[in-house]
Chain A
Amino acid sequence: MNVAAPSVPQPQPQLQLLEGATAIAESAILAGCRFFAGYPMSPFTPLLEHMSRALPAAGGVCINVESEIEGVNMALGAGATGARAATGSCGQGIALMQEAVAEAALNETPMVVFNMARNQQDYFQSTRGGGWGDYRTITLAPKDVPEAVEHTQLLFHLSQLHRAPTVLYGDPLLAQTRVGVHLRKIDFGELPPQDWALDGTRSGTGKSRQIWTWAMGKATDPGLGPDGHWQQIAAKFDRIAETEQRSESRYAEDCDTLVVAFGSAAKFVEYVVEELRDEGHRIGWFRPITLWPFPGPALAAATRGVRRVLVFELNAGQMIDDVRQYADDRDAIRFIGGVSIHESGLSFGPLLDAPEIRARILAASAADSPTRSRP
């Protein structure tokens, strides 16, 4: 689904000034999350801390676990009962969780993973995954806290709808900035019944339930087995890839230069492009909202006839691989991002700044610009 920007002014709702992590946690609770397990790791920690206070008050369970691996496996167990469960971490902790995320994808257990990336944009980790097998995770990358509130609830819905783990891609700005947000429960529609959820009631009936990546079934009621089951899962992810793409863009139909960015960086790019547009530049922006499934066809359409496709991301070039796959003209692509880390190691560095982004766009837009483009 592609959404054109910008939004029409809305009637003023009741706003609460909340730190991003708090807003995300409260939104998860509104979505029905009743199990959360996590390990302290900046900038995910405030999400865990808020959940430890708020989730029990909402009738749920929050466990401060002794390792990320414990946490994700607890969430898997909780999800296996049909409960709405979540965990999270950042970079290194997410890496530890890869086996369990793949497991949940292959044994079809819903859960939400909050990847609050720390000091660079971990696009590969969020989209390629480090588990085994043919699985993907639906990943939403909000650009600011209000959008994160919506995405959080959407991810719980998609996770239940598709019986698969889903990911919220965040960062320190999303976690730590305080913004007035409108917290409300969003209805995303009907969900199928959860007859697969473990509750013990089918034990001893001959039709007991089974959650197993190999799906061998029972001696009296054989299942598809790993071959059939994993083919079915792969087909499921192919279907999801068709139906769950989301993106946003502006001025694409009327620009020489299109800047592509995701997450918080996309909000900065949007700001700079509006500024340059006011000054007369024929420039536009494109933002994938789902990192996976990557909105390839939308990007292809947006890049048609564009002279320069500038990819801005805070890393050595990750999303650019997907841009290369779909852009109408690969030779038009230039990389204007880079690794930029705050001296503390805990946040982004000086590259995530409007004047810097503006300078890079202008430098790349100059004719015969030497800006690096990877082969």
Chain B
Amino acid sequence: MTSACLRETVPAEVQILLVGIGGQGIQLIGKTLALAATTEGKHAMLAADYGGEMRGGPSNASVVIGAAPLRSLPILPSAGAAIVANHKFTGPVPERLRQGGLLLVNSSIVDGNAGRGTHRVVEVPATALAAELKAPQSAGFVLLGAFNRLTGLVADEQLVAAMTSLLPPYRAQHAATNAEALAVGAAAVAEQEVLS
């Protein structure tokens, strides 16, 4: 693959990559963020790339948020931020995250050192935090809560509302713990600067 263009050609749009494996809720947190932004009247886009396996295969998504009809592409040539939930398939992140971009990693299983120096690495032990909540499936929301605290993209209540509305009936019982996970993630980075 040729070197990605690292220039931010559409500065008004926030471009985010999410990578993980099937079962970590990557698609759900992507939808949550996009839906929260849409409810707030912003323009949002979510594109997904995942394989056929229900669990354990790669699960990637990209989210774009902007104030006007989006020019960003459904396959992002580059992004300003990334959430990495799993070390197994880093997907497009190494090449496509712009220099200085936010790299939020699930430090329970992902080594953040690889990105240091090039990106602004923030480590959140999401798997461990979710386990403490006795809700291991909510690790993705720990990361999302942290991400939103760092970037201030949407109101926290909107994330909770979007998450609740997206849960299918057979997962509705997780709404409360997912909301807790969002809060725990935000608290984990409370000391950090809000990154623009």
Residues in A lying within 8 Å of B, measured CB to CB? 7, 9-10, 12, 15-17, 146, 173, 176-180, 264, 267-268, 270-271, 274-275, 278, 344, 350, 352-356, 358-359
Contacts and interface: CB of A to CB of B under 8 A. Distances in A.
A355 B1 contact: yes
A354 B42 contact: no
Given A177-B47, A180-B38, A275 B5 contact: yes
Contacts of A264: 74
Contacts of B48: 176
B3 interface: yes
B47 A180 contact: no
Interface string B44-88: 111110011000000000000000111111110100000000000
B10 to A, nearest CB: 8
A6 B162 CA distance: 32
Contacts of A146: 69
Contacts of A271: 9, 71-73, 77
B35 A17 contact: yes
Nearest to B44: A180
Contact residues of B: prevailing secondary structure: loop
The listed residue with most A CB atoms (<10 A of its CB), out of B7, B71, B73, is B73
A267 B9 contact: no
Nearest to A145: B45
A178 B46 contact: yes
A354 B183 CA distance: 37
Contact of B73 (A7, A17, A354): A354
Nearest to B69: A146
A173 B74 CA distance: 7
A180 B73 contact: no
What is the size category of the interface that chain B forms with chain A?
20 to 34
B196 interface: no
A271 B71 CA distance: 7
Contacts of A359: 2
B34 A354 contact: no
Interface string B84-98: 000000000000000
B77 A353 contact: yes
B45 A355 contact: no
A312 to B, nearest CB: 14
A350 B47 CA distance: 16
B74 A355 contact: no
Contacts of B47: 173, 176-178
A12 B40 CA distance: 11
Contacts of A267: 73
A274 B9 contact: yes
23 contacts: A7-B69, A9-B68, A15-B43, A17-B31, A17-B35, A17-B46, A173-B47, A176-B48, A177-B46, A179-B45, A179-B46, A179-B70, A180-B34, A180-B38, A268-B75, A270-B71, A275-B7, A344-B52, A354-B75, A355-B3, A355-B4, A355-B5, A355-B77
Given A179-B70, A344-B52, A353-B75, 16 more contacts: A12-B41, A17-B31, A17-B35, A17-B44, A17-B46, A173-B74, A177-B46, A177-B74, A178-B46, A271-B9, A274-B9, A352-B75, A354-B5, A354-B77, A355-B3, A358-B2
Contacts of B37: 180
Nearest to B71: A271
A15 B48 CA distance: 20
Contacts of A275: 5, 7, 9
Contacts of B38: 15-17, 180
Interface string B1-36: 111110101000000000000000000000100110
Contacts of B42: 180
- Identify the 8 closest CB pairs spanning chains A and B, nearest first: A354-B77, A17-B38, A178-B46, A180-B38, A177-B74, A359-B2, A177-B47, A179-B45
A208 to B, nearest CB: 51
A17 B43 CA distance: 9
Interface string B103-118: 0000000000000000
A358 B1 CA distance: 12
Contacts of B35: 17
Nearest to A146: B69
A79 B32 CA distance: 40
